[in-house]
Amino acid sequence: MRIVIALGGNALLQRGQPMTAENQRANIRVAAERIAAIAPGNQIVVAHGNGPQVGLLALQAAAYHDVAPYPLDVLGAQTEAMIGYVIEQELGNLLPPEQSLATLLTMIEVDRDDPAFDHPTKPIGPVYDRETAERLKAASGWVIAPDGDKFRRVVPSPKPKRIFEIRAIRSLVEQGTIVICAGGGGIPTMYDDSGKLHGVEAVIDKDLASALLAEQLAADLLVIATDVDGVYVDWGSEKQTKLGRVTPDELAGLDLPAGSMGPKVQAACGFARITGNEAVIGALTDIVDIVQGTAGTRVRSVGATRPQLASISQ
């Protein structure tokens, strides 16, 4: 079975943790253990978030005044390589030596007329108290938005249109390589009036990019791994209820947060509608059960059937 796994930010850094290399490696090691358990007999592609990491690099760059800070597309490329390196290494420590692994820097085209450029919503970087957030906003011209009882920088999040490296990714997967790609939603790029490709000051949503990746790879299963065990209605109330097996139409009417669960549901529904295959939103810790069909919120169009499962290593 061909499986695309979209690792949420919690797979790299727990909320409130210092963004040290040691903390991120420890979290990735846990994620790698889960992925390694489902690798035998399956084709695996891993995408991941990068919000905290790209935000930290932006802060570090802003602290050096001799040159202009690097733009977000360059910082995104840096984090793709950095995070992919650690995922590769931790998976390599768990899997047989003959299992090939590859991290691929991934450019993704966006539309320059995407309305997201007028309405930044994607949170990146660490959380701040109000005073610090206002100071950074004044100094850097950032757009700041609430995140729980804290505040974070938000940037435009245009929709992904095309994955430039899709043929290379497909070729590697078909040869049995575990591929880490489309990190942080991929490197956002667009064509200018002269037809030249260049980077964009934006962050593509990782889940939407992962859904496009899964669609173009003809994946049997899209797993959107996060820190909760599924999609809930009435979240945070006494009536909260986790959804089990649902159709895209049943999810369409839910009012979900734009910066967190909303894009995950949108990505899952889009993949299920276009391909007829299953998308699952659930906890990274449950990934074995997710692949076996017994955990997470499972999104599938009416009448679609589940593909044959490979055996799972426990």
Q: Which of 50, 125, 185, 206 is catalytic?
A: 206
Q: Could you tell me if 68 and 83 are in contact, meaning their C-beta atoms sit under 8 angstroms apart?
A: no
Q: Could you tell me if 8 and 282 are in contact, meaning their C-beta atoms sit under 8 angstroms apart?
A: no
Tell me if residue 137 is catalytic. no
Tell me if residue 159 is catalytic. no
Tell me if residue 9 is catalytic. yes
Q: Which of 9, 125, 184, 185 is catalytic?
A: 9
Q: How far apart are CA 57 and CA 61, in angstroms?
A: 6
Q: How far apart are CA 217 and CA 221, in angstroms?
A: 11
Residue among 158, 178, 166 nearest 38 (CA):
178
Q: How far apart are CA 288 and CA 3, in angstroms?
A: 12
Q: Which of 8, 51, 122, 259 is catalytic?
A: 122
Tell me if residue 277 is catalytic. no
Tell me if residue 49 is catalytic. no
Q: Which of 49, 185, 264, 270 is catalytic?
A: 264
Q: Which of 8, 10, 125, 277 is catalytic?
A: 10
Q: Which residues carry out catalysis?
A: 9-10, 122, 206, 264
